[in-house]
Amino acid sequence: MLHTSKIFSFSKKVTTFRHFSHMGILKTSRNSLKDGLELENSIYAILTISRWESLNQMNYKRVSLRQVHGRLALKFLNWVIKQPPFQELKNLTYIYCITVHILVKSRMHASAKSILTRLSDMGIGPNSIFSVLMETYPLCKSNPAVFDLLIRVYLRESSVKSGLEIFRLMGIRGFNPSVYTCNMILSAMGKEDYTTAWLFFKEMLSLNVCPNVATFNILVDLLCVNGNVKKAQHLVRKMEESGCVPNLVTYNTLLKWYFKKGRYKAAVELIDHMGHKGLEADVCTYNMLIENLCKNNRSAKGYLLLKKMRKKPLFPNEVTYNTLIKGFVKEGKLRVAVYVFNEMLNFKISPNIVTYNSLIDGYCRENSFKEATELLNEMEARGLRPNEVSYGVILNGLCKLGELDLAYSLLESMRMNGIVVDRISYTMLVKGFIESRRFREGVQVLDKMTQNGIDADVVTYAVLINGFCRDGKFRTAKELMSKMYKSGVTPNKVMYSTLVYDYCNHGMVNEAMRIYKIMSFTGVDPDLFMCNTLVDSLCKSQRVEEAVEFLKHMGRIGVFPNTSTFNFIINRYVRIGNGLKAFDFFEEMVKLGQYPSSHTYGSLLKALFYGGNFEEARKFLNDIRSIPYALDAVSYNMLMAEACKSDNLQAAVFLLKDMVCNNVIPDSHTYTCLLASLCKKGKMVISILLSEKWMEKGALLPNVVTYTCLIDGLFKAGQRKTAAFYHRKMMSEGLSDDTVLLNVLMDGYSRMGNMSMVYGLFSSMKDGRLSPNLATYNILLHGYSKQGDISRCFEVYGALLRNGFVPDKRTCHALLYGICKAGMLDFASKMLKNMILKGVLPDKYTFDMIILKCSEKRQIVKAFEFLDILNVLRVSPDQDTFNIILKGIKETYGCRPSILFLNEMLEKGFIPSEKQVVRLITDMCKAGDVKGANKLKNEVKSFGMISSNAAESAMVRGLAQKGKLEEALLVLDCMLRGKIVPTTATFTTLIHSFCKKREFKEALKLKHVMEIHNVRIDVVTYNVLITGFCENGDLVEALKLYKEMKERGICPMVNTFCVVIESCCDKNYFPDGEMIINDLCERGLLSEDEVTQDMANSFIVALKKLNVLKHKKNRTCYRSS
C-alpha cells in the first residue's frame, strides 16, 4: 500500500497528495449543494485537460459512478503508470486493483477483465492479486463481482487451477461466487476430469451456492460424455421432481446422446415427453433430428422436417441447411443438395465455408470440376476465403479421375494464395501420378515438396516405392529407398511387407528374401502374412525344399505357421506329381500339431486322382470320412460347379443325391450352384420356392451369391419389384453388397432405362470401397448408349481405359451403339476400325446393330461397307443380317430394289423372315403395285417361305391400306371360300378402313364374319370399332360394344377409356357413367377419393389421369425403340 501520498507534477516538484484511500470518500462539507456541483464540474474540467497536479488542491466527495467515471479512471491510470513511483510492481499492482474496483462499480466489466488479464500476464500469482483486491476492496466499497471477473479471466486462459484457487479464497473470506461463475468452473473442470468436477459441485453446495438449470445441464452432459446416460436420465427426473424445471438445453443434451448411442425409440419418447411438459422442440432439437436422419441416409425425411420447422414457425439456420446439403451429397443426390442450397439463399441465410465445401465435394464426386471451381469463385465473391479442405476435395477428385495436370495447377495456385499445402495434399498428388503410371511426375512432386520445406514421411515414400515395384521398376524403387534413408525416414513393417509382396508377385524371390533379411537386421519383426507370402512364392518358383527350410526358420523366430502355410507346400508337391512327398509332409504336419483343412485333404485326393490311383482315392475317402470337417462338401461342390457351368442340371441333381447318400451334408455353395442353374434357365418360381424352403430349414444360409442369382434371374424375368424386395431382404439380414451384386442391380435398372438409379449404385460401389470391374463399365456404357447420352459414354470409356481395363466385345458393342444412336455413323466407322487395329474384334451382333442403324438412317451404301468389313474379318453374316439390309433397302429405295436383294439372298441360301416378306407384300400393295405384290406372293408361297394365310392376309391389308376396299374384300372372300382363315389383324385393318369411311354396317358385318369363322376378336378390334362410333357421335352403339367386350372378358385399353370418356364429356351426356367409373377404380386407374357426386367432374379427372398415363406409355415406347 502507498504510505506516501505523493504525486510527481510535470515540473518534478513534490507536492503533498492525499492518500489514495481517501479518493472518492465523501467529506463533510459546509458548502451548499450548489458549491458541490461546481466542485464536481471543476474536477471534470481538470481531468479532461489532463492537469493531474491540480487535483492536489481539490476537496473530494463520493458520487454514484457511471461509465464516464470509468473512462476517466482509465485515462488517469494511463498517465499515472508512466510516473516513476508507480513503475514498481507493488505500487503498480495497487493502482491496477483500485482501477478494477472503479471499473466494476462503473459497470465496465470488459475493461476490468482486460486489466486483470494484464496483471496475470505480468506473472503475479492468483493469491497476490486476490490479496490486493481484498485490501483495496473496502476503500472503494467495491462489489464481489470483481472476484467473479478474476475467476472468468483465469478460465478464459484455461487456468482452471488458478480459478479454483480464487473460488476457495472467496469462500474463506465469506464471499460466494455467483452461480454463473460456478457453472463456468464446473464446465471447465468437466472437460479435464470427471471426478473432480463432481467434487467441485459438492463444494458449491457446501458454500450454499444454489445451482440453477444451467448447472444441472452441465452435469447431465458430463454424465452422458462419460457413458452414464441412464444416470443422466435419472438426474433429469430428479430435476423435475425437485421443481428445478429442465429446459430445452437439458432435453436437447439427452437427445444428442440418445442419437449417438442409437437409442431412437428413447429419443422419440423424450420428444413426446417434452411436448407434454409444454416445451416445443427448438432449432437445436430439429438440427439433431435432421443430422441423425442424414447420417442414416434418410436426408429426404430430414428435408420434410425442415418444412415442418417453417410451419411451426421455427427458423432453420445455416447448421440445418449445411447438415441437409452434406447428407444429400453423401447420398449422391447433388441436384437436391443444390436445390436446398438455393432455398437457403432465398431465405436470406448466408452460406458459410462448410456449405460450400459440401457442395464442392458433391460436384467432385460427379467429376463436375468446372462447377466445383465456380463455387470457389463464388465463395470469394461472398467474402469467404476457401481453405485447405475446399481445395483438398477438388484435388482428391482430380487425382482419382486422372486429371493430374489440373490437380498440379490447383496445388500450385493453393500455395500462391497462401493456403497451407500439407504433406497429405502432396502425397495425394504423388499417388495420382503413380496410379496413372506417370512415375517421373510423381518423383518431381516429391522434389517440389522438399523444396517447399515439407518433409516427406514414410507414407509418401511408400506410395512411390510401391508404385514402382508394382510396375516392375525395381531399380528406381531402390534409388528412392536410398533417398528415403538419407532423409532420415526409415521403413515400417507395412512398407517392408509391401516390398516383399511386390517382389514375390513378380517372381523375384531372391530380392524378396534380401528385403526380409534387411528388415530382420533393423529389428522389425516379420508377421505371418509376410512369411506365408515367401513360402507361397518359393513353392511357385519350384523351390519347395527352400520353402520347407523357411518353415523351420519361422518356428525358430516365433512365427508359428498356420494351415495355409502347410497347404502351400503340400499343394506344390501335388502339382509336381510327387504325391508320396505330399503325404510324407502331411504326416509331418500332423505331428507338428497342425490340423489339416478340407483343402489339405482335397489336395491329397487330387494327388491320388492325378496318379490314377482311383482305388487308393476311394480308400482314402472312406478313411477320412470319419474325421470331423475333413469332407465338408468341397469336393462335391467343385464337381457341382462344373456341372452347373455346363448347364447339366441332371448331373447336378445326381451329385446332390450322392452327397446325401454318403452322409455329406450339402452346404450353401451346393444349393447356390443348383439355384444358379435354375435361375439361368428362367425357372424363377421353382428357384424362389426352393430357396425359401432351404433357408427355412437352415440348409441354405443367406449369402450374397444366392441373392445375386435370384435378383439377376428376377430382373431378367421382368420382375423388378420382386428383385428390389429380395435386395432389401438381403440387406436386412446384415449382408453387404459386393461388386457382382451391384453389377446385377445396375444391369437390371439399366434394362429399365433408370440410369439415375444405375449411377447411384455405381457411386455407392465407389463410396463403399468396392472396385468396379470391366462388366461394371460395360453396363454403364450400354445404359448411356441406350439413352443416347454420348458424352457420358465417352466419360465412362475414358475411365475404363484409365483404370487399366482392356475393352472387350461388349465394350465395343455398347460404345458403337451409342455413337450410332447419336447419328454419328462416320465416326462409328472410324471408331470401329480403330478398335480393330487395337486388337478388339467386334462380334456379328455389333455389326448387325451398326447395319441396322445405317438402314434406319437410310444410308444403305454405308451399311454395305460394314458388310464388307464383316467379310474381311471372316465373320459370316446370317439371316438376321440380310433381313436388316432388306428392310433398309425397302424403306430407302422402295419395293423393286428390295425384290432384287431378296433374290440375291435366296441365291446365297439365306431365307428371309416371314415378317419381312409380309411387310414387302403389304408395302407393294400400298404403293399401288398390286400385280407385283401378287407375283411376289405366289413366288414366296411356292418356295414355302411363308404360309398361305400370312401371304393372302398381307394382300388384304395392303389393299385396304391403299383404299381399295372392294379388291380387299374380294381377296378376303376368296380366302374364306378356300378355307383360309385370315388373321385378326387382317379383319381389324379392314374394319378400321370402313370406320374411317363411316361405313359402320360393313364394319359390323366383318365383325360378324369373324365370329362365324371363330376368329378371335381382340381388344384392338373393339377399340377400332368403339373409336369409330364415338367419332361419329353414336355413343349408344359405342357403349353397347364396350359392354360386349366386358362380357367376353376382354379388358379395355387406356385408349378405349379415353375415347369413351372424351365422347361423354363432349356431349355432356353420361349414360352408364357409374359403370365406367367403377371399371376405372377396379383397374386402379382412378382412386375412390377422386370420385365425386358430380359425374362430369369425375369424368374430367379420369380423362386427365388417363391422358397422362397414355403419354407416359408413349414416351416409354419411344425410349425402348
CA distances from 242 to 127, 216, 249 (A): 38, 12, 18
Residue 612 has pLDDT above 60, yes or no: no
Res. 82 pLDDT band, cuts 50 70 90? low
Residue 66 has pLDDT above 70, yes or no: no
Residue 783 · residue 750 · CB < 8 Å: yes
Residue 424 has pLDDT above 50, yes or no: yes
How far apart, in whole angstroms, are the C-alpha atoms of residue 58 and residue 43? 8
Question: pTM (2 decimals)?
Answer: 0.40
Residue pLDDT, tens place only, 875-903: 667 667 767 776 777 667 666 676 666 66
Residue 71 · residue 100 · CB < 8 Å: no
- Mapped onto helix, strand or coil, the DSSP state of residue 7 is strand
Angle at 497 between CA 495 and CA 498, to 5 degrees: 65
Residue 30 has pLDDT above 50, yes or no: no
Residue 628 has pLDDT above 70, yes or no: no
Res. 25 pLDDT band, cuts 50 70 90? very low
Among 240, 206, 233, which residue's Cα sits nearest to residue 219?
233
- Predicted local distance difference test score (pLDDT) of residue 80: 64
Residue 469 has pLDDT above 70, yes or no: yes
The mean per-residue pLDDT over the stretch 825-847 comes to: 76
Residue 598 has pLDDT above 80, yes or no: no
- Predicted local distance difference test score (pLDDT) of residue 23: 34
Kind and range of the H or E element at 211? none
User: Comparing 22-31, 374-383, 507-516, 863-872, which segment has the lowest mean pLDDT?
Assistant: 22-31
Burial class (CB in 10 A: 0-12, 13-18, 19+), 776: buried
How far apart, in whole angstroms, are the C-alpha atoms of residue 694 and residue 713? 18
How far apart, in whole angstroms, are the C-alpha atoms of residue 600 and residue 610? 15
- Predicted local distance difference test score (pLDDT) of residue 78: 67
Which cell is 545 given? Answer: 525344399
* Top-confidence residue, 329 or 192: 329
Given CA atoms 64, 68, 73, 74 in this order, what sign does their dihedral have?
positive
- Predicted local distance difference test score (pLDDT) of residue 925: 76
The mean per-residue pLDDT over the stretch 285-308 comes to: 82
Residue 150 has pLDDT above 80, yes or no: no
Rg over CA atoms, the chain: 45
User: Which of the 8 DSSP states describes residue 22?
Assistant: G
Question: b/e per residue, 691-727, with b = 16+ CB within 10 A?
Answer: beebbeeeebeeeebbbbbbbbbbbbbebeebbbebb
User: Which of the 8 DSSP states describes residue 663?
Assistant: T
Residue 680 · residue 648 · CB < 8 Å: no
User: Comparing 44-58, 125-139, 354-368, 1072-1086, which segment has the lowest mean pLDDT?
Assistant: 44-58
Residue pLDDT, tens place only, 392-406: 788 888 787 777 788
- Predicted local distance difference test score (pLDDT) of residue 644: 63
Residue pLDDT, tens place only, 977-1001: 878 888 888 888 888 888 888 888 8
- Predicted local distance difference test score (pLDDT) of residue 899: 67
- Predicted local distance difference test score (pLDDT) of residue 28: 34
How far apart, in whole angstroms, are the C-alpha atoms of residue 641 and residue 550? 36
* Mean residue pLDDT across the chain: 76
The mean per-residue pLDDT over the stretch 689-698 comes to: 80
The mean per-residue pLDDT over the stretch 337-348 comes to: 89
Residues of the chain with pLDDT > 90, as a percent, come to 0
Burial class (CB in 10 A: 0-12, 13-18, 19+), 295: middle
Residue 118 has pLDDT above 50, yes or no: yes
For 14, phi then psi, to 5°, come to: -80, 125
- Predicted local distance difference test score (pLDDT) of residue 13: 30
Place of cell 463481482: 145
Kind and range of the H or E element at 8? strand 6-8
* Top-confidence residue, 84 or 322: 322
The mean per-residue pLDDT over the stretch 310-335 comes to: 86
Q: What is the 3-state secondary structure (H, E, C) of 442-471?
A: HHHHHHHHHHCCCCCCHHHHHHHHHHHHHC
Residue pLDDT, tens place only, 716-771: 888 888 888 888 888 888 888 888 888 888 888 888 888 888 888 888 876 766 77
User: Which of the 8 DSSP states describes residue 676?
Assistant: H
- Predicted local distance difference test score (pLDDT) of residue 1014: 85
Place of cell 401371304: 951
* Top-confidence residue, 99 or 6: 99
